[in-house]
Structure 1
């Protein structure tokens, strides 16, 4: 009875992998290309803001989240294009790729967690809540991936490239790691929205710093939550390894792109406006508008420094005169 109940599921996995392998290959190449193009598009800002100056937590987070995905990309591609890969090698590659995926997601989640913690003024209760959720997220993801790994079996087919696989028995443990990620991201998203509503009620808005932070922050969090829910739904129905590998890799790419852009925006904002004492509670929560079309970062710097009074336009009564260019910038209005 056991054999008749497991063989159809295993056969379904094998057929699904064989049929979907070309699509998986093309999508992995697309994900790698997306990661590379995004890196090229932000390289000028990275050189200007991240390659010099003293090291701090933000800079360490940036390089970890930006370049950890590059470590896994060639391995994911190798799993799709190499011929006659021994099953033992496929198994080891899966372990390494899973470790890189977990590491990249953890770094991205930490970046967002620290930003929200700073946004809430480093409240002890919020910090404990976020820390507890982060630890649970890491622990559950590691345990679930390990449970799924022991049920995963690889095989090779002549003249067909890639690491093909199936799971022993009926297992949905491959979708479980997404659950703590969704809960964590939902918590971060909710805390951001709550603080945004509070600032709106207190009329703490109207500056590019506050408006851009909430707009981009909420959009990024919503994208990550939606993508994680999509991964859970796509992999929960059955053990389709073609979908699992691609969605796992793409989620790693999306996390890397969004979190690294958050930190670049933070670095740019703090580079232009570092004088306000009120900015200390938003060390990891500042963000500049993402529409960056300048030919170079240094050209933007010179344009901003030549017109420091622009951020104050429209914020004074007619009987008042704008303050002199003392470098107070946007943040005095926060």
Structure 2
């Protein structure tokens, strides 16, 4: 068994191994939060969306690794790439769904914003999926030397940049919507989690935008060399998934902390302390954890958008 020594193979192999390592690392450091805030809570449709986003990258990244380190025929490479593309496109769609729901949640799930985001998703993914399908029909692989692993692209199309351009436009619109609402939230709220929520979101959006721009630039720069056009799709897939996971886990963790704080307020009210001291504690704690008339915190309302109620259903899939 021989390994190709060309730049394309080294780039794609190193990137794939790095992305799988990142997936495993992120999974390890967030597993406890997942168990506490997802597995042990009542399941909803939003829970299913989380699991799809969380675990689907392991499928297509494993398939890509296998294809990269397996002795393959051009026909096998073509079949594998089609399967990987299906998982990649579906996975990106699920990750974007989480981000869209997050955006809808911070706008209090108004009908107008819901229709706007639905139209944005349709305008992004309908032509994007079609162009990706056309790209697959054009793509051709060439035979590699005997006993050599990996696949080598012979022919591809510049159409591959179209889905990335559409996704870039969508991400930019979502970023602008988030910044507009974030300015208002940061001005009104004194809770530290709100600041962290928007700071982390901004960092991830900048990172995803940089990767998207590279996915657009590389095929244009490497136009005579079609085999360079695909190697940055793996980072985009993985970082999208990681970002969407962090969004859900961050809100879930904030909700748990808020509920613990609310329990503390209740216990203080029931404890016979000196009036001035008790009033000070309750007043201070209530100020940092405000509840709406329905008894839910702002965290609760935002988490609701990711746990099925966003889809118009209050019913749970299973009971924990």
TM-score range, shorter chain: 0.7 to 0.9
Q: 1:81 aligns with which of 59, 63, 69?
A: 69
Q: What is the aligned partner in structure 1 of residue 310 from structure 2?
A: none
Name the CA shift for 1:63/1:238 in 2 (closer, same or farther; >3 Å): same
Q: What is the aligned partner in structure 2 of residue 24 from structure 1?
A: 12
Question: Structure 2: which 5+ residue stretches go unaligned?
Answer: 267-278, 292-296, 299-320
For the pair 1:93 / 2:77, whether they are aligned, the reply is no
Q: 2:182 aligns with which of 178, 186, 196?
A: 196
**Given that residues 273 and 328 in structure 1 are in contact (C-alpha distance below 8 angstroms), is that contact kept between their aligned partners in structure 2?**
no
State the Cα distance separating 1:225 from its structure 2 match.
Answer: 2.1
State the Cα distance separating 1:271 from its structure 2 match.
Answer: 1.9
- Aligned pairs for 1:300-315 (under 5 A) are none
Alpha-carbon distance between aligned partners in 1 of 2:228 and 2:27, rounded to the nearest angstrom: 25
Name the CA shift for 1:31/1:132 in 2 (closer, same or farther; >3 Å): same
State the Cα distance separating 1:22 from its structure 2 match.
Answer: 2.2
State the Cα distance separating 1:54 from its structure 2 match.
Answer: 1.3
For the pair 1:43 / 2:31, whether they are aligned, the reply is yes
Aligned length: 277
Runs of 4+ in 1 over 4 A off after TM superposition: 239-242, 304-309, 324-329
**Given that residues 11 and 231 in structure 2 are in contact (C-alpha distance below 8 angstroms), is that contact kept between their aligned partners in structure 1?**
no
- Aligned pairs for 1:1-334 (under 5 A) are 18-83=6-71, 85-158=72-145, 159-167=147-155, 171-200=157-186, 203-239=187-223, 240-274=225-259, 321-323=280-282, 330-332=289-291
State the Cα distance separating 1:75 from its structure 2 match.
Answer: 1.0
Q: TM-score normalised to the size of structure 2? A: 0.78
Alpha-carbon distance between aligned partners in 2 of 1:258 and 1:17, rounded to the nearest angstrom: 34
Q: What is the aligned partner in structure 2 of residue 10 from structure 1?
A: none
**Given that residues 190 and 288 in structure 2 are in contact (C-alpha distance below 8 angstroms), is that contact kept between their aligned partners in structure 1?**
no
Q: TM-score normalised to the size of structure 1? A: 0.75
**Given that residues 137 and 181 in structure 1 are in contact (C-alpha distance below 8 angstroms), is that contact kept between their aligned partners in structure 2?**
yes
Name the CA shift for 1:243/1:34 in 2 (closer, same or farther; >3 Å): farther
State the Cα distance separating 1:326 from its structure 2 match.
Answer: 7.8
- Root-mean-square deviation (CA), in Å? 2.8
Alpha-carbon distance between aligned partners in 1 of 2:283 and 2:110, rounded to the nearest angstrom: 35
Name the CA shift for 1:45/1:197 in 2 (closer, same or farther; >3 Å): closer
State the Cα distance separating 1:117 from its structure 2 match.
Answer: 0.9
Q: Give SS of 1:273's match.
A: helix
Question: Structure 1: which 5+ residue stretches go unaligned?
Answer: 1-15, 275-300, 310-319
Deviations 1:108-163 (A, max 9, x none): 11111111111112222221111011012211221111111121111222243101
Alpha-carbon distance between aligned partners in 1 of 2:41 and 2:88, rounded to the nearest angstrom: 29
